[in-house]
Homo-oligomer: A and B are copies of this chain.
Amino acid sequence: MSAAVLATLEFAVDASAPDAPARTLGHRLIDPEAPVLTVLDLAATRGDGIFETLSVGRGAPQALRPHLDRFARSAALLDLPTPDVDAWVAAIHAVAAELAEHDEAFIKIVLTRGVEGGSTPTGWAYGAPSPDFSAARETGIAIVLLDRGYRHDVAQTSPWLLAGAKTLSYAINRAAQREAARRGADDALFTSSDGHLLEGPVSNLIVRHGDLLRTPPVQHGILAGTTQADIFGWAEARGYTTRQETLRAADLADADAAWLVSSVRHAAPIRSVDGVARDVDADLTTEINAFLTARTR
């Protein structure tokens, strides 16, 4: 039996004001393996929607507000209706409650433009126990640098490229992960066409030099990392200095330690870059992941 949980959001369009955004009525827990989408849903035909993936620790959604804030920013970038925060919080808590027996679980929330030509979005929250990431957390990950093809300033010059929005159009992110695997690596780190380090396909980069932790700036068309932000808050309270700053390959090569951080895998120390081994900070990694896993909000 699957331990997965699915809540679908329910929306209504006011017949007297068909151009007004659909209202969110609430959610409904249903069989997670039931077909719920038609082949006309723009999620399926155009990747035209947004998502967030949250971690859940013994029933507590982690970094919930930052995820919902980013969800709303993605919606704005795609001209989707503004998510009804209360309705999404209720759906997320309903799914999380079903996962309370698990130390680590995750919930993916999705909002799509709905059926082509219609005015009702589609939304759901899908939760399940997390896979076991202990190998990545303890041994570390081998990564390769892959060109994302865009200049670092593309979010400012060309907003229709949706840099910084977390959309369902992730075919390139998946292709980058397959390219990494082809090269014998575990994950990829995107670079801009003008040589800036950006982010992983589903993660943010953190590099450490002494007591300084740095991550690339969101202005470079990357997602504002919710896990990265929580790590920076934790680290500042322990005396680290943290900064968003332009980083290049040399900054990664000479860092004392580096991680790809994300909501479900948490902090995965980088043990090699393009086949060149690099140091892993096992103690700090253990501390960070203990902090991340124990979060109650």
Interface residues in chain A, defined as those with a beta carbon under 8 Å from any beta carbon in chain B: 6, 32-49, 51, 77-79, 108, 110, 112, 124, 126, 146-151, 154, 157-162, 165, 167-176, 178-179, 193
Name A149's contact: one of B41, B150, B176 (CB within 8 Å). B150
Q: Which residues of chain B are within 8 angstroms of A169 by Cβ–Cβ distance?
A: 47, 167-172
- List the number of copies, as a whole number: 2
Minimum CB–CB distance from A116 to chain B (whole Å) comes to 10
A84 and B126 alpha carbons, distance in the complex (Å)? 32
**Are A41 and B39 interface neighbours, CB within 8 A?**
no
Q: List chain B residues, Cβ under 8 A from A171.
A: 46-49, 78, 162, 165, 167-169
Supplied contacts A35-B37, A46-B168, 13 more A-B pairs, CB within 8 Å: A32-B39, A33-B40, A34-B35, A34-B38, A37-B39, A39-B110, A46-B174, A48-B170, A146-B158, A162-B172, A165-B171, A167-B171, A168-B171
Assuming the A-B contacts A147-B158, A149-B150, are A40 and B126 also in contact, with contact meaning beta carbons closer than 8 angstroms in the complex? yes
| Among A44, A147, A172, residue most surrounded by chain B Cβ atoms (within 10 Å) | A44
Pick 15 A–B contacts, CB within 8 A, sort by A.
A32-B38, A35-B36, A36-B38, A45-B51, A45-B110, A48-B170, A78-B175, A79-B178, A147-B157, A159-B175, A159-B179, A160-B176, A162-B172, A167-B169, A168-B171
Is the Cβ of A170 less than 8 Å from the Cβ of B6?
no
Whole-angstrom distance between the Cβ of A24 and the nearest chain B Cβ:
17
CB distance from A194 to the nearest CB of B (A): 10
Of chain B, the residue at the smallest CB distance from A175 is: B160
A170 to chain B minimum Cβ distance, whole angstroms, is 4
Q: A151-B149, A162-B175, A193-B151 are in contact. Are A168 and B47 (CB under 8 A)?
A: yes
Enumerate chain B residues within 8 angstroms of A77, measured Cβ to Cβ.
175
- Least distance between A280 CB and chain B CB atoms (Å): 26
Give which listed residue, B49, B79, B158, B172, contacts A160 with CB less than 8 A: B172
Chain B residues within an 8 Å CB radius of A36: 35, 37-39
Chain B's closest residue to A117 (CB) is: B131
Instruction: Check B149–A161 contact: CB distance below 8 A.
Output: yes
Most buried by B among A46, A47, A159: A47
- In angstroms, Cα B250 to Cα A94, docked, is 58
Q: Which residues of B contact A46 (CB under 8 A)?
A: 47, 168, 170-171, 173-174
Cα distance A174–B6 when bound, in Å?
28
| Cα-based distance from A33 to B36 in the complex (angstroms) | 11
Given the contacts A151-B149, A172-B160, A193-B193, A43 and B40 also touching, CB distance less than 8 Å: no
Nearest opposing residue in chain B for A77, CB measure: B175
Q: Taking CB as reference atom, which chain B residue is nearest A30?
A: B39
Contact of A6 among B39, B51, B172 (CB under 8 A): B39
CB-based contact A124/B39 at 8 Å? yes
Give every chain B residue within 8 A of A154 (Cβ-Cβ): 149
